[in-house]
Amino acid sequence: MSASGRGGGGAPPPVKKVTLQTDIECLVAAGAAADRETARATFARLREALSAGQVRAAEPDASSPVGWRVNTWVKQGILLGFRFGDIVDVSMDHGRVPFYDKDTLPLKKPGLAAGVRLVPGGSAVRDGAYLAPGVICMPPMYVNIGAWVGEQSLIDSHALVGSCAQVGARVHVSAAAQIGGVIEPVGALPVIIEDDVLIGGNTGVYEGAIVKARAVIAAGTILTGSTPVYDLVRGDIITPTADRPLVVPEGAVVVPGARAVTAGKGADWNLSLATPVIVKYRDSRTDTRTELEAWIR
């Protein structure tokens, strides 16, 4: 898979990160004794690098069993911004719409040169999130700090891309879908959505779950880092472990399902638990249906 395939192509070349990483780690080690102004200035540098796509909270790593590694120092740096920020008045419309937030966490202003389509109507993107050229944001939606959204992806109405989540290129995050974050624990992978994935409406992907390239997650499906997924095609149960989150295979088509409860009174009461089920793997017919979104671009 290409580098863009696991988190968005078109990014600028990496900045020299060693000094920034070292500065953040020193501040974290100092804890409450860290110099406040130094911490704020260091966080501002990190936020600028995140916003430009020069550093990432997680990135592809071929040596990792799941294909990704977390950059703990980046997540630690984001927490510095929360810790050392002051709550200020950030109200809108001359104060008629009141908001109050940390002064270290302003909204992102991509500018026309970024090539991002941010449609009017109540959306918000925090600075420190990366939106690649061609991204479309349909109102209202929200992208949190540390998130990465790859080129030509669509974030639809009422959708969330959580803090540090990594969304690949040409991904469709449908209306009301929730792509969870994961800032803490700092060593945990955030949610990863690779290239060409379709995330259906009212879907939730949480707790560091990984959705591999070209998968289709049907409307209403809930995936967490500890959710088992039943693969009817291959006859397997994909079970996360303590050191390996849920990984949805490439091209899998996942739908909401149910399995019977056999323990305790479950059988007597005819109870069942919701569970995601792989019913097929993506083919040309699936591709044709998911290409329909091109008409809105």
| Residue 92, domain member (yes or no) | no
Between the CA of residue 138 and those of 116, 175, 296, what are the distances in Å? 11, 9, 11
Look at residues 208, 195, 210 and name the one whose alpha carbon lies nearest to residue 254.
Answer: 210
Instruction: Tell me which residue range forms the domain holding 195.
Output: 4-87+102-296
Domain total for the chain?
Answer: 1
Residue 25 inside a domain? The answer is yes
Q: Which residue, among 212, 190, 196, 193, has the nearest Cα to 56 in the 3D structure?
A: 190
Q: Which of 7, 249, 232 is nearest to 132 (CA)?
A: 7
What is the pLDDT averaged over residues 149-176?
98
Instruction: Identify the three-state secondary structure at position 292.
Output: helix
Distance CA 246, CA 208 (A): 8
pLDDT digit string (tens) for 262-290?
A: 999 999 999 999 999 999 999 887 776 66
Lowest mean pLDDT among 2-6, 24-28, 87-91: 2-6
CB 140 within 8 A of CB 146: no
Residue 96 lies in a domain: no
Within-domain flag for 289: yes
Alpha carbons 284 and 264: distance in angstroms, whole number: 44
Buried b (16+ CB within 10 A) or exposed e, 169-194: bbbbbbbbbbbbbbbeebebbbbbbb
- The reply to whether 274 falls in a domain is yes
| pLDDT recorded at residue 290 | 61
CATH code, 136: 2.160.10.10
pLDDT (0 to 100) of residue 283: 86
Block residue for tokens 């992907």: 205
Structure tokens at 31: 């804890």
Alpha helices in the chain (DSSP H): 18-30, 36-51, 72-83, 284-290
Angle at 88 between CA 84 and CA 94, to 5 degrees: 155
Selected residue with higher pLDDT from 140 and 17:
140
Q: Does the pLDDT at position 297 exceed 80?
A: no
Tokens for 171, please give them: 């991904």
Question: What is the mean pLDDT of the segment spanning 153-176?
Answer: 98
Average confidence (pLDDT) over 208-232: 96
pTM for this prediction: 0.90
Q: How many CA atoms lie within 13 A of 100 on its CB side?
A: 3
Helix, strand, or coil here: 236?
A: strand
Q: Does a structural domain hold residue 244?
A: yes
- Look at residue 114 and tell me whether its pLDDT is greater than 90: yes
Residue 73 inside a domain? The answer is yes
What residue type is assigned to position 138 of the chain? M
What is the pLDDT, as a whole number, of residue 98?
Answer: 95
Instruction: Report the pLDDT averaged over residues 57-61.
Output: 96
On whether residue 50 sits in a domain, the answer given is yes
Which two three-digit tokens encode residue 216? 């289709």
Q: List, in sequence order, every beta strand (DSSP E) within 72-134.
A: 87-89, 100-102, 117-118, 124-125, 130-131
Mean pLDDT over all residues of the chain?
A: 92
Q: Which amino acid is residue 268, in one-letter code?
A: D
- Residue 195 scores a pLDDT above 50: yes
d(C-alpha 187, C-alpha 1), whole Å = 25
